[in-house]
């Protein structure tokens, strides 16, 4: 193969992508796929919102294999996409290899805030803060004094959710009992609603009457079973209150959509560095809408909003599991 | 009984099967409102139109070469090794351990060491089903497929609990040291004055895979052991009568098969990722079955089939990148090719055989 041929190949690629402005942004979904009702779908929603508001277009790809992480990054970078946004911590390794090769392209990656590269924007969420708030609500809504947590894959990130949740529960009711289960230790745990349902039943038999699912697609099974068995559940990432109106206490909102929207809006001038999205800047929070208004009492709302204000002002610091791999309120 | 000429068996049947698969794929693409001609063009351009495309095509092909050869060797002894996936997973573990814990001074030694480590782990994983088949008569299809699940669980345990660096969320090992970096085709061809895409993951293990093809050909058709394997595969009774030990042949064929499947790790683990991730094999063990079937268990046929599947993988990736064709549809296209070339072989073969026989009778 000659250089000429590879140039022609590149020219063909550009010809194929022509018809739109060259610097259109790109979004790469993780292996879980675009429509997971949770994390990836939130990213897609943000991109859609940007496209509707600005009339712009964006490239997107759902990966099929590990080898394609680097491939997709390089292909989009070479085709002139800018910025390129990735959903998921699994991109950190590939991105740290690719980003230095394309200094003029801006990258944004969600759930990664430890890379230190001049053209990378890392967006980490303070999920423990949002989980703290819904933990308080769980404890206040519980009649048995026992609440449950169902995590997806057992990784530090999910323990961070569980730990914040447990701290919130303890703050509202120091005598509460917390049952915590993880669905599994592989990525399959993100999409196992059947096991989520079984774990929910097991937790109910142990007395839990509110369960919080931080488990991606597995959470669909948790919420379904909780609704069927007549207990309350708490959704995650996206607002899942509408899935079972009147049965979902609230949802811990992780505004992945806003992160993608912001990155797309800033475009080629994307500000790099690591950003931490917490309660203070609206990155996380709890969902209140017509589907759960009847479940949230005035006292509950007042208590949570007070805690929220304290966290935002820095008066109340929720312990982050990932800072020292331990949790004062929950044992794993 | 009359037979078709060999060229029809080897060339015509796969070709017709492929065309049928392509035709149905085109209908599927039409049905979702995309242009099949443009899609094919994009696949060919993306997979074969540049050194970048070739780099990915050959990278995938290298994986399929190893697993295809693995299935072929077992086929010659009339054993259906469905465990290539698990053996490749364990091979990855072997290669990773060798790369992480031995300070290699040079990549060539690391390649040899990694290949041996991967082969030993892969062979060991095949040894248990082989022993159960040879001594206890437990069917190899059942045991090898069960061992795939056990392999996934073992790898999962090791990656999550033992090899994962502290604080990391990915169930993956740390990156291998720079010294074990295998040269890519770009680095290999640059001194010869040939420009090859820098981004593509195809690496020196492609050459190892080609060498493995030659090795398998020599072994099966030019050695006493190969003769024994084929004799056993044709007729166990006949082999027994000729003094060939079924136990020995079963074990050797399966160990070889497992070792070849395991050696895939030098490509995907050492060559591409340079660390061991959870789903590093990504179904290559199963694609190997289709490759072996399509290649008629002959190393050259396996080579061609592996390139074809490499093309489908890379072309599929290009489709996903540049069109709105969803990835599920790309899996459908790949599955159609496997279905027609592997499972529906007789659908093409039988009518074709009749045509040939009728044609011959007409002449006579």
- Identify whether B359 is part of a domain: no
Cβ–Cβ gap A71/B268 under 8 Å:
no
CATH class, domain A3-126+258-268, is alpha beta
- Give DSSP secondary structure letters for A191-234: G-HHHHHHHHHHHHHTT--EEEEE-TTHHHHHHHHHHHHT-EEE
Owner of token pair 């509950």:
A300
Residues in chain A: 332
Cβ–Cβ gap A67/B330 under 8 Å:
no
Average pLDDT over residues B132-150: 94
- Per-residue confidence (pLDDT) for residue B197, from 0 to 100: 85
- The shortest CB-CB distance from A90 to any of B42, B170, B320 is to B170
Contacts of A13 in chain B (CB under 8 A): 45-46, 322
Chain mean pLDDT for chain B = 91
Which stretches in chain A have pLDDT values below 70? 1-22
Q: How far apart are CA A122 and CA A115, in angstroms?
A: 7
Establish if A96 touches chain B: CB-CB under 8 angstroms: no
Number of domains observed in the structure of chain B: 1
CA nearest A191: which of A228, A234, A233, A222?
Answer: A222
| Helix axes of B205-222 and B246-263: crossing angle, nearest 10 degrees | 160
Contacts of A1 in chain B (CB under 8 A): 50-51, 54, 194-196
Does residue B122 surpass a pLDDT of 80?
A: yes
| Helix axes of B84-101 and B107-131: crossing angle, nearest 10 degrees | 140
Does residue B77 surpass a pLDDT of 80?
A: yes
Phi-psi label, residue A105: left if phi above 0, alpha if psi -120 to 50, beta otherwise: beta
Cβ–Cβ gap A66/B279 under 8 Å:
yes
- Identify whether B145 is part of a domain: yes
Cβ–Cβ gap A64/B42 under 8 Å:
no
Query: How would you list the strands of the sheet with A210-214, edge to edge?
Result: A177-184, A146-153, A210-214, A232-237, A248-254, A284-286
- Domain boundaries defined on chain A: 3-126+258-268, 127-253+284-324
CB B217 within 8 A of CB B299: yes
CB A181 within 8 A of CB A202: yes
Full-model pTM: 0.84
CATH topology of domain A127-253+284-324: Rossmann fold (3.40.50)
**Which one-letter DSSP state was computed for residue A2?**
-
Average pLDDT over residues B54-79: 96
- Give DSSP secondary structure letters for B276-318: -BTT-STTHHHHHHHHHHHTTT-HHHHHHHHHHHHHHHHHHHH
Q: How far apart are CA A330 and CA A160, in angstroms?
A: 11
Cβ–Cβ gap A61/B320 under 8 Å:
yes
Cβ–Cβ gap A8/B50 under 8 Å:
yes
Interface of A with B in 7-36 (CB under 8 A): 8-10, 12-13, 16-17, 33
- Per-residue confidence (pLDDT) for residue A22, from 0 to 100: 52
- Per-residue confidence (pLDDT) for residue A33, from 0 to 100: 77
Element (H, E) at A42: helix A39-54
- Per-residue confidence (pLDDT) for residue B167, from 0 to 100: 72
Kind of pairing between the strands at A107-110 and A84-87: parallel
- Which residue in B has a C-alpha nearest to residue A157's C-alpha? B169
Beta-carbon contacts of B362 under 8 Å, excluding residues fewer than 6 positions away, are: none
CB A131 within 8 A of CB A283: no
End-to-end Cα distance, chain B: 16
Establish if A64 touches chain B: CB-CB under 8 angstroms: yes
**Domain containing B251: what range?**
65-298
The pair of three-digit structure tokens given for residue A8, joined into one six-digit string:
């022609």
**Burial call A265-286: b when 16+ CB within 10 Å, e when fewer:** eebeebebeebebbbbeebbbb
The pair of three-digit structure tokens given for residue B67, joined into one six-digit string:
């697993």
- Per-residue confidence (pLDDT) for residue A106, from 0 to 100: 94
- Identify whether B48 is part of a domain: no
Task: Give me the residues paired with residue B51 across strands.
Answer: none
Q: How far apart are CA B362 and CA B364, in angstroms?
A: 6
- Per-residue confidence (pLDDT) for residue A13, from 0 to 100: 46
- Per-residue confidence (pLDDT) for residue B364, from 0 to 100: 61
Q: What is the CA radius of gyration of chain A?
A: 21
CA distance A121 to chain B (A): 19
- Per-residue confidence (pLDDT) for residue B240, from 0 to 100: 93
- Per-residue confidence (pLDDT) for residue B2, from 0 to 100: 59
Alpha helices, DSSP H, located in chain B: 6-7, 13-31, 36-48, 51-76, 84-101, 107-131, 140-157, 185-189, 205-222, 224-234, 236-241, 246-263, 265, 284-294, 299-322, 327-338, 345-363
Does residue B284 surpass a pLDDT of 90?
A: yes
Output the CA torsion B146→B147→B151→B152 (10° steps).
-20
Residues in chain B: 364
């Amino acid at each position: 193969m000659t250089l000429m041929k590879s140039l022609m190949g590149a020219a063909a690629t550009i010809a194929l992508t022509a018809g739109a402005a060259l610097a259109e942004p790109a979004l790469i979904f993780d292996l879980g796929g675009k429509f997971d009702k949770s994390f990836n779908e939130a990213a897609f929603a943000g991109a859609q919102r940007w496209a509707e508001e600005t009339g712009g277009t964006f490239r997107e790809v759902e990966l099929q294999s590990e080898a394609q992480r680097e491939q997709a990054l390089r292909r989009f970078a070479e085709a002139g996409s800018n910025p390129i946004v990735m959903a998921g911590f699994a991109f950190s390794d590939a991105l740290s290899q690719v980003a230095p090769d394309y200094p003029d392209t801006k990258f944004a990656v969600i759930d990664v805030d430890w890379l230190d590269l001049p053209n990378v924007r890392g967006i980490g969420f303070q999920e423990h803060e949002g989980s703290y708030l819904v933990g308080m609500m769980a404890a206040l809504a519980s009649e048995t004094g026992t609440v449950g947590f169902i995590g997806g894959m057992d990784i530090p990130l999910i323990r961070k959710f569980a730990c914040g949740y447990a701290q919130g529960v303890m703050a509202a009711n120091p005598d509460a009992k917390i049952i915590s289960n993880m669905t599994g230790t592989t990525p399959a745990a993100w999409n196992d609603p059947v096991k989520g349902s079984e774990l929910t039943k097991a937790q109910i038999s142990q007395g839990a009457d509110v369960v919080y699912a931080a488990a991606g697609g597995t959470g669909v099974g948790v919420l379904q079973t909780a609704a069927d068995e007549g207990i309350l559940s708490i959704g995650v990432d996206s607002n899942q209150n509408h899935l079972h109106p009147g049965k979902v206490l609230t949802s811990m909102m992780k505004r992945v959509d806003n992160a993608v929207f912001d990155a797309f809006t800033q475009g080629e001038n994307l500000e790099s560095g690591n950003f931490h999205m917490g309660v203070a800047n609206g990155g996380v929070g709890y969902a209140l809408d017509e589907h759960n208004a009847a479940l949230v009492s005035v006292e509950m709302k007042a208590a949570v909003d007070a805690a929220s204000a304290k966290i935002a002002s820095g008066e109340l610091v929720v312990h982050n599991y990932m800072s020292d791999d331990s949790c004062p309120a929950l044992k794993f | 009984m009359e037979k078709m000429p060999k060229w029809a068996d080897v060339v015509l049947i796969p070709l017709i099967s492929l065309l049928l698969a392509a035709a149905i794929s085109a209908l599927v693409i039409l049905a979702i409102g995309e242009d099949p001609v443009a899609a094919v063009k994009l696949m060919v351009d993306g997979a074969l139109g540049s050194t970048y495309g070739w780099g990915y095509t050959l990278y995938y092909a290298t994986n399929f070469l190893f697993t295809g050869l693995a299935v072929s060797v077992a086929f010659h002894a009339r054993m259906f090794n469905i465990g290539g996936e698990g053996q490749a997973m364990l091979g990855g573990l072997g290669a990773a351990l060798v790369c992480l814990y031995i300070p290699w001074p040079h990549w060539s030694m690391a390649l040899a060491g990694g290949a041996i480590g991967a082969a030993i782990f892969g062979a060991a994983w095949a040894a248990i089903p082989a022993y159960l088949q040879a001594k206890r008569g437990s069917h190899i299809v059942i045991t090898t497929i069960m061992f795939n699940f056990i392999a996934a669980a073992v790898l999962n345990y090791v990656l999550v609990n033992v090899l994962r660096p502290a604080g990391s969320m990915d169930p993956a090992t740390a990156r291998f040291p720079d010294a074990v970096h295998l040269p890519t085709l770009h680095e290999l061809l640059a001194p010869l004055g040939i420009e090859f895409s820098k981004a593509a993951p195809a690496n020196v293990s492609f050459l190892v895979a080609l060498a493995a093809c030659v090795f398998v050909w020599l072994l099966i058709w030019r050695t006493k052991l190969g003769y024994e394997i084929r004799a056993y595969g044709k007729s166990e009774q006949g082999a027994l009568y000729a003094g060939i030990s079924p136990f020995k042949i079963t074990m050797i064929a399966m160990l070889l098969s497992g070792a070849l499947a395991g050696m895939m790790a030098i490509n995907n683990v050492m060559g591409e990722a340079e660390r061991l991730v959870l789903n590093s094999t990504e179904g290559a063990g199963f694609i190997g079955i289709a490759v072996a079937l399509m290649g008629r268990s002959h190393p050259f046929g396996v080579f061609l089939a592996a390139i074809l599947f490499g093309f489908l993988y890379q072309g599929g990736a290009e489709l996903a990148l540049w069109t709105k064709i969803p990835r599920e549809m790309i899996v459908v296209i790949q599955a159609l090719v496997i279905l027609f070339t592997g499972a529906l072989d007789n659908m093409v073969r039988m009518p074709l055989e009749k045509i040939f026989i009728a044609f011959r009778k007409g002449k006579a």
